Structure 1
Amino acid sequence: SKNLFTLPDYVVFIIMLLVCILIGIYFGFYKVPKNVREYLIGDENMTIWPVAISLVVSYISAITFLGLPAEVYVFGIQYFYIELNDIFVGFIGNYIYLPVFMDLKLTSTYEYLERRFDKSLRRLGSFLYIFDQILWLPLVIYVPALALNHVTGIKTNIITLLVCGVCIFYTCLGGIRAVIWTDFLQAFFMISSMLLVLVKATWNIGGFGTVIERNVATGRLHFPDIELSLTKRLTLPTMIFGGTFSLVNDGILKQSRTQRYVALPTINEAKTAFWLFLLFKAIFIGLCTYAGLIIFATYLNCDPVTTNIVSAKDQLLPLLVVDSLKDFPGASGLFLAGVLSASLSSLSGSLNSLAAVFLEDCFKPIFKQLTPKQEQAIVKIVVFVIGILTLGLASTVAKLGQILQLRVALGSVSTGPLLGVFTLGIIFPWANAKGAFYAGLSGLLFMSWICFGAQSMLASGRIRYPVKPVFTDGCSFNITETLSTTQSINDYDETKVFFMYRITFMLYTAIGTIFTIILGLIISYFTGFNKIENVDPLYLAPFVRSKNIQNNPTEKKRYLKQNDDSNVRLEEAVELLNKRKD
């Protein structure tokens, strides 16, 4: 690959990195966090907009930024219809999960598991989160580095070193506030670079109508597939059902998200931030989907993958950028800044959240008498060490198939069981610690078996999915490659593959969650259900909480007093008080 970048491109890119460094210096030396809690979750006076935007950009990693357009190019826009589940997720998140975490204001989400169950479950939760993040972070860095290597000529290890270095610096120095404000800046780079590319590329091929026409003709632009199938790669029912579980976990329960919500002063502000997060996420995923349609319309007659113009599908968007914006000095640099912003925001959020988990769940239980200075040192060392570890692992990540699918599949090994354990605690007051612990552990083993089995079948070609057609008849050079990408998928029998391996990856989190909940309730039954009145109402979802309190007059008095003392103005507390007056 040759270097297609000019001096203005590098200038724009370096400015973005410098501003991130300056934000870190500002929060590290001028607005110094007073203590570790403020370093990790802010001083609870953040405002809604920066937090909502920070939630989105930490959610939209470079894997989505580059992987989703490639997904649309190969398989069509079916994945976009997952956005239809946002409305369900909004209500489920705001009325079941978010109130619990906002009332408790925990630095580590997994502290909830100890309070509601016991220490061993907290350790299991922390371990699953750390495991998930360490699997994910190398992908977050490596994917954009590989894609950008092709269009810039900069070696992948130099890009990964730059991103990790800058990110470790500002996250180490400034904590959560530096993370949130750099996210705010990075959102500008991500959106502006994407819009610039989309507008210019649409103009180049003759307008919006041409994009639609070419994609409809090849079946990329289509209505949702409403077939009730567990093995079809993506259908609307499996995306709505499975995607709801995934998004509740990714949008609320993940440590890096919870830390942002509790940085807000009130539950109402947290709920607003969550709705805004869902709205902005839908807009950004819409832009990424449209990018996939434009890529196909642009390269309609000369597929860059078959002809080896690019070596991986995730390089399609960078290729479009360089081809579309070559007449605009600095524009490609803006896009590079946008992609790396997506990486930086995800990496910094995860580093900060891992620092919180390691301090609260790994160090504090062992070293009881840590001084504030020691705590500060521990969180900064954790950020540094995990950053370096990510850098090392990123260099070992090889081509791993469809990146978006791989991320969902690997993530689901731990996210399903984790969501199951939290749900047992929040919705089922009679679930006990033994039930939750053994169900969580079993869920992890069960999902590992399914996910790794399915990934090995995909890698060996024993499972294949139908891809949309591509063409090379308009290329201006000779093609020696065989057109393997359009190979018929009717020449193999998928029924020879074990059924559980064929289940769509969209259902993995849901399967892990439901398996864990059912097994947890069965084990709780055989080991003696919890008495409902023994569970602190604050650990339960509001709709379960009110029943718990009404069944127990002593708990009612304590709860009302507790809410009065802590100024937590919960709607049911007021209602219950009114009922007692009546």
Structure 2
Amino acid sequence: MYSVDKMEDYSIYNGHKKLFHIVDYIIFALVLLVSLVIGIYHAYKDRHNTNAEEFHQSGRKMHPVPVSLSLCATFMSALTLLGNPAEIYTHGTMFYWIVLAMLLSTICSAHVFVPIFYKLKTISCFTYIQLRFGKVVRVIASVLYISQMLLYMGFVLYAPSLALEAVTGMTLWGTMISVGAVCVLYTSLGGMKTVLWTDSFQLVIMFAGTICVLIFGSIAVGGFSSAWNIANERDRIEFWNVSVDPRTRHTVWSVGIGGAMFWTYLYGVNQAQVQRACSLPTLKKAKLALWLNFPLLICIITLTCMLGIVSYAFYKDCDPKTFGLITKGDQLLPLLVLDVLGNYPGLPGLFIASIFSGSLSSISSGLNAMSAIIIKDFLKPLCWKTLQGRTELIVAKTVVVLCGILQFFVALAIAQASGLIIQLSYTLFSIVSGPLLGLFLGGMIFPCINKIGATCGLVMSLLFIGWLGISATIVSPTPMRPALPILTIDCNWNITTTENQAEVNLTSTNQNVSEPPIFDFYRISYQWYTMFGMLTNICVSLLVTVLTGVTENSERDSKLFYPLFYNLAPFLPKKYRNRLMFGVQYQTNSKDEECELRVSGNNGEITTVSLPKREKDRRTSFL
């Protein structure tokens, strides 16, 4: 690592944060301008288009590569770029097991959920809910989704703006207004095509900015191997915590399995992602786009986790939050950027552009998705049945603008909240994602569930996980595992704070407080929220269905179901395995090289079987 005399220009030694150079502002503005130009280009190119479906799905003519880039960019938001390094800095590397979660979610999304949505040939994924459970459940689910996305986009707009204001001096409201306005404008102008191509451009910027910071940060600490050794000596490197205690923040099970449910919701049943997968011309290409997206996810997660290790090595003996240079953990990375790149005009601007590229991609995807939901789930079926053609296209663009204005006011409301912004956003997102995932998954794998059971399951799971998540956030019980050590021995306390203040910061967290037994329940890792919400939904749905009467065989359309248990039990004798079809008659397109099965009666007897040549009599695979 560099000696102190070479680091005297860094904020932890002089107590002053570096500011943006004019070149940095120019780089940031150029990224916004390019995104806007892409929107204007597609608006001009498609100026004769009068089809709203073209606006929402690009006429199902997109190529898998830009779709895969967009899939990655949409939920690799600014929250991820800022939050992951801070997570590694504070809690260590167990979070990296999220790559297992992403693998499992890709398998489930590509081979269970997307095929069902794609074959329905509909824009809104909630059309499935109406076909399966009726209009009432569809409306409830759609309202939940819109509320979730507005909250999420508010966090995505506000959190990076707040973090960057604290360390760069950029105006909070000015940044929010400019970023939000550009995003709304290009999304309303060009629709899905613009969203896909701007996402692709923004993902490239995200990679460029992240790699740049990683290289210069590694140089500053004597190389990445040096940073790794420092983090290892200070207990930041850990990969094998297999505790089954759900109160442990990060374990192989909570991150790998619990996190898999969260990411399955994002890539399996979230409207923003389903809409992209269904914009491709064939189901095979839709699956390909999801699999191309997987290595991109691994790369961005790996880079951000490496940045967390470098950040810890750089600030190993002077925690900038305790020092008073920053007030929140998600401001750590922007501070590091200005410390290691501040002498290279333009490079900090590139990183800031990469952060807001994450915001732009998430917000534009959410706006386009909400526009589709509002038109297809509310306006056309409930109050404007004749809406079509150019009028529908104008309404779709107007909805984008209105949703953009609304999410800005949501961001203003979030600005009044205090606490951990990124942690709060994940919790609120999980409160809705678990019940919605349970609604879709339960409907697909349990043909017996009826509309009453589905409604009760959705409501009860939402109440349960909402109570757990919000209570845990408000109460904030002391964690099961003590915090990893943070040192301040190299801080120049005389510059920004007094010695007494320093002692308060270092000792206030060590007080022992007696807590009621219910706090043990509140300590459950946030990584389990989505899975608990999903399981609660399915269990309540099945229980209520048993009490009110199961769905009859004649009402079971094979297009709406997936034989999960049949596929998971190839070891069972055929006689018993067939019963796992639950009486459904499966008919699939041979063009997609999938099986065709016909099952009749409650006993699950197969009367007709048509299998691919390579599977023949050995087994039936729907993957």
* TM-score using structure 1 length: 0.93
- Structure 1 297/30 Cα, relative in aligned 2: closer, same or farther at 3 Å? same
**Would the aligned equivalents of 1:537 and 1:548 in 2 still touch at CA under 8 Å?**
no
Q: Is the 8 A contact 1:467 1:486 kept in 2?
A: no
* 1:415 aligned residue: 433
Partner of 1:158: 174
Question: 1:280, 1:101 → 2: CA distance?
Answer: 24
Moved more, 255-264 or 520-529: 520-529
Q: Match of 2:592? A: 569
Contact 2:247–2:524, Cα closer than 8 Å, also in 1:
yes
Contact 1:100–1:538, Cα closer than 8 Å, also in 2 = yes
1:273 to 282, 286, 289: 289
- Give SS of 1:368's match: coil
Partner Cα distance (2:289, 2:165) in 1:
36
Q: Which residue of 2 aligns with 1:426?
A: 444
Distance change in 2, residues 1:576/1:569 (3 Å): farther
How far the C-alpha of 1:494 sits from its partner, in A, is: 5.0
Instruction: Report the more deviating stretch, 314-323 or 87-96.
Output: 87-96
Question: Given that residues 90 and 275 in structure 1 are in contact (C-alpha distance below 8 angstroms), is that contact kept between their aligned partners in structure 2?
Answer: yes
- Partner-residue secondary structure (3-state), 1:396: helix
Give 1:533 shift.
Answer: 4.2
Separation (CA, whole Å) in 1 of partners of 2:117 and 2:485: 47
Quick one: which of 520, 524, 530 aligns to 2:545? Answer: 524
Gap regions ≥5 residues in structure 1: none
CA distance in structure 2 between the aligned counterparts of 1:548 and 1:110, rounded to whole angstroms: 29
> In structure 1, how many angstroms separate the alpha carbons of the residues matched to 2:227 and 2:595?
52
Q: Is residue 204 of structure 2 the alignment partner of residue 184 of structure 1?
A: no
User: Aligned partners of 2:479, 2:102: CA distance in 1, in Å?
Assistant: 30
User: What residue number does 2:338 align with?
Assistant: 322
The answer on whether the counterparts of 1:193 and 1:335 sit within 8 Å (CA) in structure 2 is: yes
| CA–CA separation in structure 2 for the residues paired with 1:150 and 1:364 | 45
Matched, 1:208 2:229: no
**What is the one-letter code of the residue matched to 1:381?**
T
Within the alignment, does 1:394 sit opposite 2:417 as a pair?
A: no
Counting only pairs closer than 5 Å after superposition, residues 459-474 of structure 1 correspond to structure 2 as 466-474=482-490
Q: Structure 1 residue 8: deviation in Å?
A: 1.4
The answer on whether the counterparts of 1:71 and 1:292 sit within 8 Å (CA) in structure 2 is yes
Change (3 A) 1:463 1:578: closer
Residue 69 (structure 2) pairs with residue 49 (structure 1): no
* Cα distance, 1:256–1:342 mapped onto 2, change above 3 Å: same
The one of 101, 121, 131 equivalent to 2:147 is 131
Q: Does 2:450 align with 1:442?
A: no
In structure 2, how many angstroms separate the alpha carbons of the residues matched to 1:493 and 1:191? 46
Displacement after TM superposition at 1:139 (Å)? 0.7
Cα distance in 2 for residues equivalent to 1:578 and 1:491: 64
**Which stretch has the larger CA shift, 162-171 or 209-218?**
209-218
1:368 to 372, 385, 409: 385
- The RMSD of aligned alpha carbons is 2.5
Aligned ranges for residues 110-149 of structure 1 at < 5 Å? 110-149=126-165
471, 494, 517: which one aligns with 1:496: 517
- Give the partner amino acid of 2:555: N
The Cα of 1:65 is off from its aligned counterpart by 0.7
Amino acid in structure 1 at the alignment position of 2:473? Q
Q: 1:320-377, CA deviations, whole angstroms, 9 ceiling, x for partnerless residues?
A: 1111112222111111110110000000000000001101111011211113222112
Q: What whole-Å deviation, never above 9, does each CA across 1:295-319 have from its counterpart, x for those lacking one?
A: 1111122211111111221111111
Question: Contact 2:106–2:291 at 8 Å: present in 1 too?
Answer: yes
For 2:507 and 2:199, locate their aligned partners in 1 and report how far apart those are by CA, in whole Å.
Answer: 40
C-alpha distance in 1 between matches for 2:168 and 2:132: 51
2:190 to 161, 174, 177: 174
Q: Which runs of structure 2 are paired with 1:232-311 in the superposition (5 Å)? A: 232-311=248-327
Q: Equivalent of 1:231, from 226, 247, 270?
A: 247
- What is the distance in 1 between the residues matched to 2:344 and 2:131? 57
Query: Of the candidates 332, 342, 356, which is equivalent to residue 372 of structure 2?
Result: 356
* Change beyond 3 A, Cα 1:534–1:489: farther
| Displacement of 1:548 | 9.6
Among 554, 558, 562, the residue aligned to 1:537: 558
Q: 1:248 to 1:578 in 2, by over 3 A?
A: closer
Change in Cα spacing, 1:227 to 1:465, as seen in structure 2 (3 Å) is closer
Q: 1:343 — aligned with what?
A: 359
Q: Which moved more, 1:147-156 or 1:465-474?
A: 465-474
Name the SS for the 2:439 alignment partner: helix
